[in-house]
Structure 1
Amino acid sequence: MQHTDNFQEITHHHDYDREASRKEVIRVTVILTVITLVELALGFWLMSIHQELMRHFIKGLICIFMLAKAFYIVGYFMHLKHELRNMIMTIVVPLLLFVWFIIAFLADGNSYKNLRNKYDPHHVEESKTKVDKPVHGEEHGAKKEGAIE
């Protein structure tokens, strides 16, 4: 008889609170919706701004909001919020390395472009010469129809 009492005691500690879970999902959905609407408003506002510094600032805000949404989605809908710290680190650390790789490759490509323009005089000369726009239907180096060879 004592065995069943212990079993009932154990099962009562793991009751699932359906109402609290529903409220949490609604709260997270509302937060994600508000963040998305703010991002959209910033994006539409960005199209009308011509000052370069302000454009970069708004783009930075949009990136911050995007990261916040990503953390909410991973934390709540992929259930990492309730996981162990080591499990979270096995996912977050590679993700951060991936983001670092993207930033490093973009910076390296930009550096290559700038150095090529600076130190390759032939490339600089080629980039400054204007090329005539080809007439419709003609390809570069192609002869006109009816032309005698």
Structure 2
Amino acid sequence: MDNHSNSSEITFHHEFDREAGRKEVVKVTVILSVITLIELALGFWLISLEGDFFRLLVKGVICVLMLAKAFYIVAYFMHLKHEIRAMIMTIVVPLLLFIWFIVAFLYDGNSYKNLKNTYDPYHYEQSQIKVEKTEHAPAHGAEEHKDAKKEGTME
């Protein structure tokens, strides 16, 4: 009787070709390097770029390139490209939820800041008091300067 036929474990024998593995690593390294150089060039160009639309467009392109780099890093260096689909989804879906949490918290924080300034009844009043104080207040040290000049103690 054959012992292997009753085994519940499924194993696969993979042939490992060192040359193919080496070529794949070199290819991925070159792709990541090129994407990084493009990101850097766009970042330096962004400094001198005028216009809000073009700045946002370049920032969006940089974000897309960053996501492409993240895909290559996860797929090749975390060895997920060669895994079964269920294993990939087990890792990627929680990661996407984490990214969604970050975006949601940033949006909520910005919304809270804007609503706080809008609905705070003392916000407008306090800002008007600060404006009035700065308009009517003498320059810093002006009173002491006048008093010293009257007394003749100033040189």
Number of residue pairs matched by the alignment: 121
- Number of the residue aligned with 1:115: 115
Q: Mapping of 1:1-149 within 5 angstroms?
A: 14-127=14-127, 129=130
The 1-side partners of 2:126 and 2:61 are apart by 38
The 1-side partners of 2:50 and 2:32 are apart by 29
Residue 76 of structure 1 aligns with an amino acid whose one-letter code is: Y
SS at match of 2:15: coil
The 2-side partners of 1:91 and 1:77 are apart by 14
Residue 22 of structure 1 aligns with an amino acid whose one-letter code is: R
Task: Report the alpha carbon displacement of residue 124 of structure 1 after superposing the two structures with TM.
Answer: 3.5
- Number of the residue aligned with 2:6: none
Counting aligned pairs with the same residue, the percent is 69
Task: Report the alpha carbon displacement of residue 127 of structure 1 after superposing the two structures with TM.
Answer: 4.8
Q: Deviations over 1:64-123 (max 9, x none)?
A: 111110010000011000001010001000000000000100110111111111111322
TM-score by length of 2: 0.72
Q: Deviations over 1:117-147 (max 9, x none)?
A: 1111322444563587xx8xxxxxxxxxxxx
Max radius of gyration: which structure?
2
Q: Which runs of 4+ in 1 moved over 2 A?
A: 123-132
The 1-side partners of 2:124 and 2:43 are apart by 35
